[in-house]
Chains A and B, each alone.
Chain A
C-alpha cells in the first residue's frame, strides 16, 4: 500500500518537473542567444537555425520553439490534473479538472449546439494554447502569438474545418452558396470566404504585437525621460532609469495578462461561431432523411 503511494508521489513530481523544465530551458536559451542591445529593438522572431529543404529552406524560429515549449508544458499540466482520477473524489486537482471540463462543455453546447458536442476538446486546446502562449511573455520568452505564422496556422486549421462543414451537403450545394443572393456578388462572397481566417489571424496577432510595441516604446521613452530629469546628478547615478521601476508592471497587467486571455477567449468563440455557422443543419438532415428513404426502397425491392 505504502509503495504504491510512493510511486504515485514520484509520478506527480515527474509531471510537475516536466511542466516547469521547458519554460526554464526556454529562458536559458533566450538569455544565451539574445545579443545585448541598447535602444529600441522591435524585431520579428529570431531564427535559431535553418534546415535545408528542396523548395525553400525551413527556418526554426524563436516562436516555433516557444510554442513547442508551451505545448509540452500544457501536455504535462493535463497529465498532472487527470492523474489519480477516482469516482469518489480524493484530490483537490480533480475538482479543478472537472470544473474546466464542465465549463468548456457548457460553453460549446451553448454556442455551437448539441450536434457539435464533440468539439469541446478542440476548443479547449485552442483556448489553452493561445492563452498560455500569450502569457509566456511574462517569463520573458518571445510570445508565439505575436508572430503571424503561428496564429495563421491555427486560423487555416479553422478554415479547413469551416470548408469541411460547408461541403457536407455536397459540392453543388457549396458552389450554390457563393451565388446567393445574386450571381453577380460571387467574387465578393469568395473574398468573404477567405477573409475569415485572415481577419482571425490578424486580430489575435495584432493585439499581442501592439502591446509588445507599446511596451518597448514606453520603456525606451521612460529611460530617456529619467536621464533628462536626473541630469544634475553624477553620470553613474543619472544613467540609472529610475522611472522604469513599476510603471510598466501596470501596463503589463493589461497588455500581457488581460489582453492575452481576452484574445484567446475571442479566438475560441469565433472558432465556435464560424464552424457552427458554416454547417447548414436543416438541409443536411433533410438530405439525410431522403437518402435513408431511398435506401429503404432499394432494400424492399
Chain B
C-alpha cells in the first residue's frame, strides 16, 4: 500500500518534470522574436513603439504552448496524486 502510494507520488512528480520540457519551445521562440525586434529597432529607431507592442503581443501568444505544459504539470503535482491515491484506497477497500 505505502509502496503503491510512493510510486504514484514519484511518477506524478516525474511526469510534471517531463511535461515542463515543453518550456524549451517558447523560450527559443520568444528569444528569436525579441532578437528580431531589437534588430528592427536598430534599423528604424522611430518605429520603436509599434515594434515593442507587436513584440509583446507575439511573445504572449507564443507563450501559450508553454502554459499548456505548465497547466498539465500543475495538475500532475497538485490534483493527480490526491485523486489517484483516493482511487487506490477505494479499490483496495472494495477488495
Give me the interface of A with B, judged by CB distance under 8 Å: 42-43, 199, 202-203, 205-207, 209-210, 213, 262-263, 266, 269
Instruction: Give the interface size class of chain B.
Output: 10 to 19
A-B pair count, CB < 8 Å, reads: 32
**Contact across chains for A262 and B67 when beta carbons are under 8 A apart:** no
Of A199, A206, A213, A266, most buried by chain B (CB within 10 Å of CB) is A206
Contacts of B67 in A (CB 8 A): 202-203, 206-207, 210
Main secondary structure of the interface of B (DSSP, over half): helix
Q: Does B64 contact A (CB under 8 A)?
A: yes
Q: Nearest chain B CB to A32's CB is how many angstroms away?
A: 25
- The residues of A that contact B57 with a CB separation of less than 8 Å are 266, 269
Q: Main secondary structure on chain A at its contact with chain B? A: helix
B71 interfacial by beta-carbon distance below 8 Å: yes
Q: Could you say which residues of chain A place their CB within 8 Å of the CB of B60?
A: 203, 207, 262-263, 266
Within 8 Å CB of A209, what residues of B? 71, 74
Chain B residue with Cβ nearest A42: B78
Across the interface, which residues of B come within 8 angstroms of A210, CB to CB? 67, 70
* Cα distance, A262 to B57, chains bound together (Å): 8
Cβ contacts under 8 Å, A199 to chain B:
64
Chain A residues with CB under 8 A of B30 = none
How far apart are B84's CB and chain A's nearest CB, in angstroms?
A: 18
Report the minimal beta-carbon distance from A291 to chain B, rounded to whole angstroms.
39
Q: Which residues of A contact B56 (CB under 8 A)?
A: 262
Given A262-B56, A262-B60, A266-B60, verify A206-B68 contact (CB < 8 Å).
yes
A76 to B74, CA, bound (A): 37
Residues in A with CB closer than 8 Å to B71 are: 202, 205-206, 209
